[in-house]
Amino acid sequence: MKKLLMTLFLSVPCLAYAAGGGYHLDHAPIDVTDKNSLQRGAKLFVNYCMGCHSAQFERYNRLARDLGLPEKLVQENLILTAGTKIGDTMKIAMPTNQAKEWFGAAPPDLSVIARARGTDYLYTYLRTFYLDDSRPWGVNNAAFPSVGMPHVLWQLQGWQKPIYETDPHDANRQVITGFELVQPGSMTVPEFDRAAADLVNFLSYVAEPIQLERKRVGIWVLLYLVLCFAVFYPLKKEYWKDVH
């Protein structure tokens, strides 16, 4: 029993690794309290992702409030489907069956993807689409081998080719260690990294909108505790001064 538990325990990191396709994950430089980054991320999301992905747990008016945007601005700039109102959720019109037929896999709802997969994975995934003629869309992904999603951000990132090296642990295996840009997009590499981080930041917020509130409340709780200490400590001293 002990051995079994030990094996299970030890295999957990391997499972996480397998999900990442073996490619090392870059740390996502995100900050959910950065409203400007969240706003940029929301804009990228509605323009480049909502053709295929919904975020059905998020309502537009909540988005407006949390990101500090007037509802009118959200209605005019972030709601791109006709007939959708500010109180509606971020749903899309693409039927799931059809999508499965087109892509081989249905594009998942992205409401909680940041919690399911982790932000480092998402940050790496969005930046590691690379040219691969053997795939239906002509691209593959280092973090998600044989992915069914096309490289939707190619206009921004451009096209890249993988750089292979021999696996240090297995001489017969080639692993991707980096990328070479063969056709630049409209953004430089640092600009595109920033855009990917903004998107991941937005997905992290959407997966847990309450985290903004928690941080705000947390600061007040700490201030309250400091205040309590300032009042009670002199009081305690006062009470005990005759005892000592």
Positions in the binding site for ligand HEC (CB under 6 A): 48-49, 51-53, 103, 105, 107-108, 110, 113, 117, 122, 125-126, 144, 147-150, 152-153, 199
Compare residues 125 and 205 and give the one whose CB is closer to ligand HEC: 125
Burial 5-44 (b: 16+ CB within 10 A, else e): eeeeeeeeeeeeeeebbebebbebebebeeeebbbbbbbb
Q: How far is the CB of 49 from ligand HEC (least distance, A)?
A: 3
- Of 207, 242, 45, 48, nearest in space to 114 by CA: 207
> Minimum Å distance from CB 34 to ligand HEC?
18
Q: Which is nearer to ligand HEC, 28 or 52 (CB)?
A: 52
> Closest separation between CB of residue 214 and ligand HEC, Å?
24
Q: How many CB atoms lie within 10 A of CB 52?
A: 18
Nearer CB in complex with ligand HEC: 60/129: 129
Cβ proximity to ligand HEC, 71 vs 138, nearer residue: 138
Provide the token pair at 233.
């400590």
Check: CB of residue 165 under 8 Å from CB of residue 177. yes
Q: Of 38 and 110, which has the nearer Cβ to ligand HEC?
A: 110
Q: 203 near 41, Cβ under 8 Å?
A: yes
Q: How far is the CB of 50 from ligand HEC (least distance, A)?
A: 8
Contact, 85 vs 190, CB < 8 A?
Answer: no
CA-wise closest residue to 42 among 186, 160, 204: 204
Q: Using alpha carbons only, how large is the chain's radius of gyration in Å?
A: 24
CB of 15 to ligand HEC, least distance (A): 14
